[in-house]
Structure 1
């Protein structure tokens, strides 16, 4: 299902009725309507941002048509035409182990006004969005979170971690490859076009990445109307020896006015579709004049960069949870990805919301392709039994969390946890290089 179809699905009736019993109105908000600016201001307030300007609102309306936006309204309040809670979603392609992708419900802009907490509003919205996705045949839901403790109750689990890097350039000393291609500065407009062209290749290289609407690249390059400090963004591209553009990066520099040789560069987005492009762009940043420190976030937990610098202690790396996943349709989700080893697993999945509950037989062949069937009765004699909740199954889905780790934490039980872990493993850690 496309986002165009998904965004017009009516709100979930169960959640609408539950909120109506509390005097609240749960309804869709048309991005093109006069209700949307007020919805957008409520989202800004919920994320502690200043009010959006008219220019920013117009830009958001122009670029947000792919999203399904929903609000909860309280007619008894003094601002009855502004929602007291918000949520947005759309269908995006999620890359899974093996390089293929699966339609997934991306959830964003979840806010509840402090004046309306403890009234079941967030639960109604999240469960409503999951039921809408499930009814539309979308097999997976996903989100990035501000408050990490809120979403486990709905079956979401952190499935792809993100690394933040701070690199001392003088200590780092480049020892990596020195590609034969060339680096050139480009305009932000050119960078925007290159990002859109290169991102599909980037997305296919790691599980956890998602397909993006073209409007996203306006934000990364500062070309969205009303963007703050847009002129501070710079862009550089890498073309290989044949002249083909293989990478582009957008960055900003913060001067150190006490010592100009100790300024800081922050990488906003780096897209590289070849190893040479990756090496050339990172070397460019680490050898920039007047730069003492390089900052970058939302990197992989296994960046090759660590092995391209002479002193690994020059890099301070912080890892945190980032991409959360929630499986809604077990057979569709598990058959979409590839696996690290062959095997037969009898999965006993619990799910408080009921979407994924059941016993499932996962059979993986020698090429890593899996097939799933509902399991009635006893499992085959050669099957490894695995009992787990939907959070745990969602956590291991992208290959970044080991079943053995969850078993040691008391979250999974198995008749052969080592064998089950090998099946669900993947050799490339997942990542997600954006917030949404």
Structure 2
């Protein structure tokens, strides 16, 4: 019997969820409650399944996403998630079939790019994705940080308040949009995202969720400029507390807010260690401390992968560090975004048009995906043989134009 790849319907959802659990090595059981929660957050027209003998053996889902690009504008992206192939049906081209169907539909819709968080490095490069934003997790030894445990609040006259989930639902979405307007790589969060994050909607398949602590930073003028979400364990060595506070999220739209929230958490009684959430690799955290060596990296990894679908729209949407022009020859084996393009940029904007001029740089669409958000170095990719310099000086020019002062950051797993 042949393998079928198709859009799923309501009746397929229980089997589709079971297949997804199987692919992610989770218990395969599916509850009625999980079906209801997942159905409410799934656009079935953008959910695919691979079927063999009436059984789902592969899953794939996409959704509408907005991602901020260098300069503060945002573009529409095809966010991809829930990608699995059952271990009994690997190496049969199922992921390739689902991916191609989705990307072609995204291109027809007018999405400028596709994004995903890769579980394994070798998989997605062959589909035109490139690693575009990285994350770092830190562990801070409180006793070594050099902070005074008598800390009594922000030195700038602001304040930190512990609040409940209702306050987070009021203040969080607007705060996140302020962050997204200034930090490239950040993606939008729906109302559903916030309801899941605060326990207002149960997280599908998560039976261990407990309410975290929420702390808001208010500026001296009373504006909410920061939100910290954390939990704490309870560990004692005899009569000595050895508790760890784990940060699950931190939004700060000013350095003062970021400093105040970290100092607050590091001053909590009984906390001897703090672990961070996914932070940008150039986060301020270690250097906010009197002794930065109190913080050590416990994870540094590629995170957001980016796949261009409309090269002119993408290159015209972002800003550039300096004026210049480049002729890019972009290769795309699926014919979705390839071609030769003239990019002309200055501080007032950019234009990108198809051209017949001789190429100055040649690269695959995945290489452009890695360069686009400003994190990767054109010089490094050239040294690795992943882009070709067809005209002397073009790599250096690309380096100067495309790199950004701050590294892109995507704090959200999806």
- In the aligned structure 1, how far is the partner of 2:51 from the partner of 2:286? 50
Give the 3 Å change call, closer, same or farther, for CA 247–298 of structure 1 in structure 2.
same
Give the 3 Å change call, closer, same or farther, for CA 412–274 of structure 1 in structure 2.
same
Is 2:209 aligned against 1:230? yes
Is 2:308 aligned against 1:327? yes
- In the aligned structure 2, how far is the partner of 1:368 from the partner of 1:431? 24
Match of 1:310 in 2: 290
- In the aligned structure 2, how far is the partner of 1:294 from the partner of 1:124? 44
Q: Where in structure 1 are there 5+ consecutive unaligned residues?
A: 1-21, 380-384
Q: Between Structure 1 and Structure 2, how many residues are aligned? A: 402
Deviation at 1:38, TM superposition (A): 2.5
Please tell me whether the aligned partners of residues 361 and 374 of structure 1 are also in contact (alpha carbons under 8 angstroms): yes
Match of 1:148 in 2: 121
Deviation at 1:67, TM superposition (A): 7.7
Please tell me whether the aligned partners of residues 250 and 277 of structure 2 are also in contact (alpha carbons under 8 angstroms): no
- In the aligned structure 2, how far is the partner of 1:257 from the partner of 1:67? 51
Please tell me whether the aligned partners of residues 20 and 82 of structure 2 are also in contact (alpha carbons under 8 angstroms): yes
Of residues 60-69 and 344-353 in structure 1, the stretch that sits farther from structure 2 once superposed is: 60-69
- In the aligned structure 2, how far is the partner of 1:275 from the partner of 1:150? 37
Match of 2:98 in 1: 125
Deviation at 1:229, TM superposition (A): 3.6
Report the secondary structure of 1:84's partner residue: strand
TM-score calculated relative to the size of structure 2 = 0.92
Give matches, 1:46-195, under 5 Å.
Answer: 46-50=23-27, 51-65=29-43, 68-74=46-52, 76=53, 80=54, 82-174=55-147, 178-195=155-172
Deviation at 1:66, TM superposition (A): 8.5
Is 2:199 aligned against 1:219? no
- In the aligned structure 2, how far is the partner of 1:250 from the partner of 1:298? 12
Please tell me whether the aligned partners of residues 265 and 295 of structure 1 are also in contact (alpha carbons under 8 angstroms): yes
Match of 2:272 in 1: 292
Give the 3 Å change call, closer, same or farther, for CA 323–239 of structure 1 in structure 2.
same
Give the 3 Å change call, closer, same or farther, for CA 398–368 of structure 1 in structure 2.
farther
Report the secondary structure of 1:434's partner residue: coil
Of residues 244-253 and 34-43 in structure 1, the stretch that sits farther from structure 2 once superposed is: 34-43
- In the aligned structure 2, how far is the partner of 1:47 from the partner of 1:197? 33
Report the secondary structure of 1:225's partner residue: coil
Match of 1:12 in 2: none
Please tell me whether the aligned partners of residues 221 and 250 of structure 1 are also in contact (alpha carbons under 8 angstroms): no
Q: Given the alignment, which residue of 146, 166, 179 partners 1:202?
A: 179
Give the 3 Å change call, closer, same or farther, for CA 263–36 of structure 1 in structure 2.
same
Match of 1:401 in 2: 376
Give the 3 Å change call, closer, same or farther, for CA 345–90 of structure 1 in structure 2.
same
Match of 1:427 in 2: 405
Match of 1:15 in 2: none
Deviations 1:125-153 (A, max 9, x none): 11111111112221201100111210000
- In the aligned structure 2, how far is the partner of 1:212 from the partner of 1:44? 24
Q: Where in structure 2 are there 5+ consecutive unaligned residues?
A: none
- In the aligned structure 2, how far is the partner of 1:87 from the partner of 1:324? 16
- In the aligned structure 1, how far is the partner of 2:44 from the partner of 2:314? 23
Match of 1:17 in 2: none
Deviation at 1:65, TM superposition (A): 4.5
